[in-house]
Amino acid sequence: MVEALDFDKMKKEIADRDYYCKEQLVCVLMARYSISEIEKVINDNYFYWDRNSGKGLDIYLPGYGEYICPDVLKKGQIILKFDSNDTRVYFDGEAFILFKDELSNKIEKFKYKDRMQMLIFNCNDNRLDFKDVVEIDFSVDSKKYGFENINEFMEEIVIYAKKYTKTKELVDELRKKRIKYLILNNTSKVVGAIGKAVVSAIKGSVI
């Protein structure tokens, strides 16, 4: 997890990454911490997601910073409330809005929905490509692809993003996941319907 108070800082961070491959994926997690549901998700998972993504995958957090003194907090700034927050990671509402607007200007089809969303970019020679961006809306897409919750979906994304270097490859994997889910879901519905029909037939039989 990489704190990114503003868009230009994120671009500079990416440009300076000496361990990046020529081609790789970069994730941007849009998570407005001041929403209670998102606050809980971030508090519960920040440490794990940070360690789990490791050096092979950077997940940038727009509007988040580090090393702020509690005495100088401004309106809209909140220090994250998880136990291992030794670097005083914090959320800045104003910075988040500016970052969101910058992304909306850069990505033609991107629409922020004020819920947890992730953008996955192709990164070539330490530069983000704003053309083939994958957008994931966790509140909708978790169920769509057959995941029980955000945590399960995030686990899968980290695996794919480390494994592949292009968004197209990641999308292909998600499509396979979607097809498999639909097949299994529809099969269970058919089996369930047959089961109900059998039960009804037994109940209606005269012995």
Claim: this prediction has a pTM higher than 0.95:
no
Distance CA 35, CA 66 (A): 20
Each residue of 10-40: pLDDT tens digit?
Answer: 999 899 888 787 889 999 999 999 999 999 9
Report domain extents, the chain.
Answer: 2-167
Q: Name residue 23's beta-bridge partners.
A: 124
The residues pairing with 136 across neighbouring beta strands, listed in sequence order, are: 118
Q: What amino acid is encoded at 168 in this protein? A: K
For residue 147, give the DSSP letter.
-
pLDDT tens, position by position, 156-206: 999 998 889 999 999 898 888 778 777 776 654 434 443 444 333 334 433
